Amino acid sequence: MLSAFILSVVVLTGALLIWPRVANAPIWRATITPLASIIGSGFLVLGPILDVSFGGYAPLVMIGLCAVAYLFGSAIRFNITDIANGAAASPLLSKLETAASGVLAFAFIISVAYYLNLFGAFGVSLTALDDPFHANLLTTSVFMLILFTGMTRGYAALERMEQVSVGLKLAIIAGLIFGLAVHFGKVSGQHALHFEAPQVTGWAAFTLMAGLIVTVQGFETSRYLGATYDAPMRVRSMKLAQWVSCVIYVVYIVLLTYAFDAGSLSLDETAIIALMQVVAPILPLLLVVAALSAQFSAAIADTSGSGGLVYEMSNGRVPEKLAYALLVGIGIALTWTANIFEIISYASRAFALYYAIQSGMAALRAWHAGRLAKAGLFGFMSLVGLVAAVIGTSVE
């Protein structure tokens, strides 16, 4: 019966998202890109990681991650507004912008490996071939498919999948939250809620949080939508995307943390699949569908973005197709030499460095505008980003 209700929630949410008044609303169209980037399938991996590592304090850690991401977002929003107001860029700001683009291109490369390794893990999770070798084999095959498509036909055909997959992913997440809420209510009624002691504390906890930044990353995509939306719309939509994603993340973590025994969790990338079998039989299948569609479309988007950035930075000397080949080569190497948690850490550190540069640029702009409090805040966030880029560690 619960499976039927969950499926109804998924269908109703999907219908709402494709309702013309919602789908065609400018603020929603501007919000959907950063929101979809923030709530990727890292959402599914993050729950078990926080539950096992931080126990009953996992929701506080989640709030902390969202708060750090929001402050990084505020720096990027300041840059968006300043550029839109026609402020002249100093030579130092121009160099920092170039450096930020280079770091972002590298972060995209690592994040594609992260996306497709999750794709491989979830792709074999409900089959008889559920092991690291076949997961890596599937990931490698998808890398080669992306490379072949990019070399021969370009990405236009694949990118059409993005809007459909975004709606599907958000609808399934709504079903997941509903199922978890029902399960939480049952466990609460039995007076069986859990508050586990944290397994990671002190400095190790701080470095692990730094290694999880990639799971709340994605809001920066609003920075690069200037050809479609004006600055006020991009600022509003980024704020909305971050607030909505924060609410979803925190509710998800609360429902997961206290309704399940962390000691029963196996800490791997598909741990959430076995966990949701307890809630409702339909959830594992739905989560696999969500993970596959989300990871494939995100990988396409970041592959395209990385190729475009490399092309621009090299003034056309490095063709996009060559950049795609480089990305695929690095991604396949990471697939076979690093586990998913190490790749998450690498991607987090790359994005943390990008945010550090963007925050540093915002600090300079605020200082020149005489807004000293803002300059201090953004300078502090730049330092936070630099520290996170240096110390971020993976889940052991």
CATH code assigned at 51: 1.20.1740.10
Residue 266 placed within a domain: yes
Here the tokens at position 45 are 């991996």
Mean pLDDT (whole number) for 7-18:
88
Residue 269 placed within a domain: yes
pLDDT at 59: 94
Q: Is the pLDDT of residue 324 over 90?
A: no
Residue 259 placed within a domain: yes
Residue 335 contacts residue 116 (beta carbons within 8 Å): yes
Domain count, the chain: 1
Residue range 190-212, pLDDT digits in tens: 988 888 888 888 888 888 888 88
pLDDT at 254: 93
pLDDT at 61: 94
Residue range 69-93, pLDDT digits in tens: 999 999 999 999 988 887 677 788 8
Q: Which alpha helices (DSSP H) does the chain contain, by range? A: 2-18, 20-23, 26-38, 42-54, 58-84, 91-124, 132-152, 156-159, 161-189, 202-210, 231-259, 271-279, 282-313, 320-337, 340-368, 372-391
Mean pLDDT (whole number) for 226-232:
80
pLDDT at 63: 95
Which is more confident, 158 or 172? 172
Per-residue confidence at 12, pLDDT binned at 50, 70, 90? very high
Distance CA 271, CA 250 (A): 19
pLDDT at 276: 79
Distance CA 174, CA 165 (A): 14
Residue 173 placed within a domain: yes
Three-state secondary structure along 129-197? CCCHHHHHHHHHHHHHHHHHHHHHCCCHHHHCHHHHHHHHHHHHHHHHHHHHHHHHHHHHHCCCCCCCC
1-7: long-range pairs with CB below 8 Å, 24+: 2/179, 2/182, 2/279, 2/280, 3/280, 3/281, 3/282, 3/283, 5/178, 5/182, 6/175, 6/176, 6/178, 6/179, 6/280, 6/282, 6/283, 6/286, 7/175, 7/282
Q: Is the pLDDT of residue 137 over 60?
A: yes
Q: Is the pLDDT of residue 42 over 80?
A: no
The secondary structure of residue 56, as a DSSP letter, is G
- Of 135, 105, 140, 137, the closest CA to residue 121 belongs to 135
Distance CA 79, CA 75 (A): 6
Distance CA 194, CA 55 (A): 9
DSSP-derived secondary structure for 335-363: HHHS-HHHHHHHHHHHHHHHHHHHHHHHH
Here the tokens at position 168 are 């599907």
pLDDT at 268: 65
Residue 95 placed within a domain: yes
pLDDT at 378: 96
> What percentage of residues in the chain have a pLDDT greater than 70?
88
Query: Both ends of the chain: CA-CA distance in Å?
Result: 38
Here the tokens at position 48 are 């078990």
Q: Which domain holds residue 26?
A: 2-391
Least confident of 49-58, 228-237, 297-306: 297-306
Residue 396 placed within a domain: no
Residue range 267-321, pLDDT digits in tens: 666 677 777 777 888 888 888 887 787 777 677 767 766 776 777 677 777 777 7
Mean pLDDT (whole number) for 102-110:
83
The secondary structure of residue 201, as a DSSP letter, is -
Which amino acid is it at 5?
Answer: F
